[in-house]
Amino acid sequence: MKLTITLEGETKGIVLPIHHNHFIQAALYQLLDPIYASFLHEQGYAYEKRQFRLFSFSRLLGKFSLQPRESAITFIGPIKLVVLTPLKPISQGIVNSFIMGKEFRIGSQQLFSTGVQLDYPAVSSRKIRIRSLSPIVSYSTLERHDGSKFTYYFEPSERDFSRLVAGNLYRKWQAWKRDADLAEVNFDFSIKPLHSIKRRIIMYKGIVIKGYSGHYLLEGEPRYLEFALNVGLGAKGSQGLGVVEKV
């Protein structure tokens, strides 16, 4: 499911730190049932040795101005936030909380929802074009000659970018569906960059994350493409990355 949330503040300008993904993540958890939110945060849905929260959220969408010296960003007027998830406890929790008038606090800013649009992205073809609403992340942890480890973020032009994004989507599918008959080698999905690809740097609780925004071509079995539109693509979705939509 795709939820498009419209948010407004108590004042005309909504001032936030430039890097505010962790505040949005915390605000979304606060909208959920506390027991379920604790399960999702601490455990999530497992496949093999990986745990998945099975939701992602976009950057804040709207008019803004940057104040680099203050490391701040100011949004003017209503802003929108897109959340993707196949999980009803998440989508229903968000909608019910806003119906009850619950606030949405991002850092020190108290916001309120003036509307939530629900969509069910569907796919019937083997190829779709998409654009990212938050950067797509593909990475591996590698080892240097001295034995120390480092994180390498792949660019969309590198072959491993598509392979890792597909592998991540396969594991999310298995965490959600538990399809014992589906082997990863038979997971029919690929992603290719098209245009407007730009590197984005995100700071999440002091950690540097590199992702890539732009337009992409997805190919594969329609149900997997549809799943991608309802859960997001790439790693670190629950940290505000990998939200995409069909164009």
State what percent of residues in the chain have pLDDT above 90.
93
**Are 2-119 and 127-246 equal in CATH topology?**
yes
pLDDT on residue 35: 98
State what percent of residues in the chain have pLDDT above 70.
100
Check if the beta carbon of residue 242 is closer than 8 Å to that of residue 137: yes
Check if the beta carbon of residue 231 is closer than 8 Å to that of residue 55: yes
Check if the beta carbon of residue 234 is closer than 8 Å to that of residue 137: yes
- For the segment 143-185, what is each residue's pLDDT rounded down to a tens digit? 888 889 999 999 999 999 999 999 999 999 999 999 989 999 9
Average pLDDT, the chain: 96
Enter the tokens of residue 98. Answer: 């806003």
Of the candidate CATH numbers 3.40.50.150, 3.30.70.1890, 3.40.50.720, 3.40.50.2030, the domain formed by 2-119 belongs to 3.30.70.1890
DSSP secondary structure, 87-128, as one string: -HHHHHHHHHHHHTT--EEETTEEEEEEEEEEE-----SSEE
Assign 3-state DSSP to the chain and report helix, strand, coil percentages, each to 5. 30, 45, 30
> Which sequence spans correspond to the domains of the chain?
2-119, 127-246
Return the biggest CA–CA distance within the chain.
Answer: 56
Please check whether the domain covering 127-246 is classified as CATH 1.10.10.10.
Answer: no
User: Which neighbouring-strand residues pair with 189?
Assistant: 220
Q: What is the mean pLDDT of residues 39-44?
A: 96
pLDDT on residue 192: 98
- For the segment 5-33, what is each residue's pLDDT rounded down to a tens digit? 999 988 888 999 999 999 999 999 999 99
Check if the beta carbon of residue 175 is closer than 8 Å to that of residue 45: yes
Q: How far is Cα of residue 1 from the mean position of the Cα atoms in its chain? A: 13
pLDDT on residue 2: 98
